[in-house]
Amino acid sequence: MTGRFITFEGIEGCGKSTQIGLLRAFLEARGQRVVVTREPGGAPVPEAIRAILLDRAHADMHPVAELLLYEAARAQLVHEVIRPALEAGAVVLCDRFADSTTAYQGAGRGLPRDALDSLHRLATQGVWPDLTFLLDLPAGAGLERARGRGEADRIEAESIAFHERVRQGFLGLAAGEPQRIKIIDAAQPVETVAGAVCAGIAALFGYAATG
């Protein structure tokens, strides 16, 4: 594959969508073909799964069922969107990927890491991010932002304790893979965060991070 795969991770309300939009503009201004997608979602089957996962009517969903739905959505997205875009030489920007499952269903729900890693390998079929930006924010601040957008979905409605476990899960992943996962303080102004994102990809693409 000749393209580049960049993911954005973090707890609810950390600003991933905003930063993806800004990075897309930055890359397109430099002649890059950019494909933006999200997890779960990004194609018809994954979007249908997303609706199930986020519906508060399914508050009693078993953690293993939840995990398998996320992996099913990921497998279809990789097959239908991400791999073809990378093979065509595009830069793929994805709002969440397997790191989110490790943080939410692993650290958050307590499912075993070895099972998660096995399912990730099956679902991704060798597709893995070249670079990941972890937009870090305290759980309370992130939930305040997220819930300010409207009625909380099934995941947003979880307790602060759950979201703090998820945050710590993300930080643990970053500590284990510092070359791939770059932590950015998402409490900073949007422009400051965007500058850090652009600086983070400068070496990857070989051009200046500003201008």
Please report, for residues 49, 79, 210, the alpha-carbon distance to residue 167 in angstroms, rounded to integers and kept in the order given.
24, 29, 29
CA dihedral 141, 147, 149, 150 (to 10 degrees): -170
pLDDT one-digit tens code per residue, 91-135 = 999 999 999 999 999 999 999 999 999 999 999 999 999 999 999
Q: What is the reported pTM?
A: 0.94
Q: What angle do CA 22, 183, 145 make, to 5 degrees?
A: 60
Name the nearest CA neighbour of 93 among 103, 75, 81.
81
Instruction: Please give the pLDDT value at position 150.
Output: 79
Token pair 């933006």 is found at: 36
What is the residue type of 187? A
pLDDT one-digit tens code per residue, 36-64 = 999 999 999 999 999 999 999 999 999 99
Task: Flag whether pLDDT at 210 surpasses 70.
Answer: no
Tokens of 59: 């508050």
Token pair 């075993």 is found at: 112
Name the pLDDT band for 211 (thresholds 50, 70, 90).
very low
Task: Flag whether pLDDT at 159 surpasses 80.
Answer: yes
pLDDT one-digit tens code per residue, 79-95 = 999 999 999 999 999 99
Instruction: Please give the pLDDT value at position 151.
Output: 84
Alpha carbon distance 34, 90 (integer Å): 6
